[in-house]
Amino acid sequence: MNIGQASNVSGVSAKMIRYYESIDSSHAPPDARAAIATTRGRQPPRVPDHQGAGKRDSARPALRRGGLAQTQNCDQCRSAKSWVPPLSARDGQARHPGISLGLAFQLGVLFTAVNLVWEAFQLPLYTIWWSEPWSSIIFALVHCTVGDLMIDSVALALAVSIAGQGWPANGRARRRVVIVTTLVGVSYTIFSEWLNVEVRQTWAHTELMPRLPPLDTGLTPILQWLTLPGLALTIARRW
């Protein structure tokens, strides 16, 4: 008997039968074990009754359409019929979140667009805008935008792996991911600004750049990571 026929006879869904066939069927409820045995060409396993334990189903038929026969009053059988697989079996995606290719593409486009616009507007706050030729300015703009995209990607991956259970479908999970992504981005920006401005002197701020103590971190890069990750993730959700 194939799985479809066993499902029609036992009342157990074909999907459930396949699930229990893939694991240790000894943990399955009685009706599911009986259906699995039927598909494998064996006698259905014994089920408890009120006449005496150990009677075989062949002597006392236990399977029929709609559920168990002659054992409807058995507490164990009633609990078995109401039993459902654990969350890990019913909703594996909620416990093991992931990013689809379509969503990854959308986020990549959005992260690139919003960061490119932000970097272009904040360039006059750096000395390169006033002291370097246009070729250097354009190179710096592209370089910084690509760097922002890489930081966004790493921050989002960490956020999903740490706090993304149920993301992106679950509202609370979306908020957790936005918060963690923002915190990772802000933390890295503070470190990067200190390293490149104070230590390596790779770039420098003009007098127009507002600064934050204690490391004289530029204000606009911090605002960039406080606003853009959440904005991009919200737009991607509504896209």
Domain segments of the chain as ranges: 3-86, 94-238
CA neighbours within 13 Å on the CB side: how many for 214? Answer: 0
The closest of 200, 202, 201, 221 to 210, measured between CA atoms, is 221
pLDDT mean by block of 10 residues, the chain; 239 residues: 69 70 64 67 51 45 44 48 47 51 87 94 92 92 94 92 84 91 94 90 90 89 93 83
pLDDT of residue 36: 67
Distance CA 4, CA 18 (A): 10
3-class secondary-structure state, position 210 = coil
What pLDDT is attached to residue 27?
A: 60
Instruction: Return the pLDDT at 70.
Output: 44
What local confidence, expressed as pLDDT, does residue 237 receive? 78
What is residue 227's predicted lDDT score, i.e. its pLDDT?
Answer: 93
User: How confident is the model at residue 13, as a pLDDT?
Assistant: 73
Q: Residue 69: helix, strand or coil by DSSP?
A: coil
**Is the pTM higher than 0.85?**
no
Residue 164 pLDDT: 81
β-pair partners for 64: 67
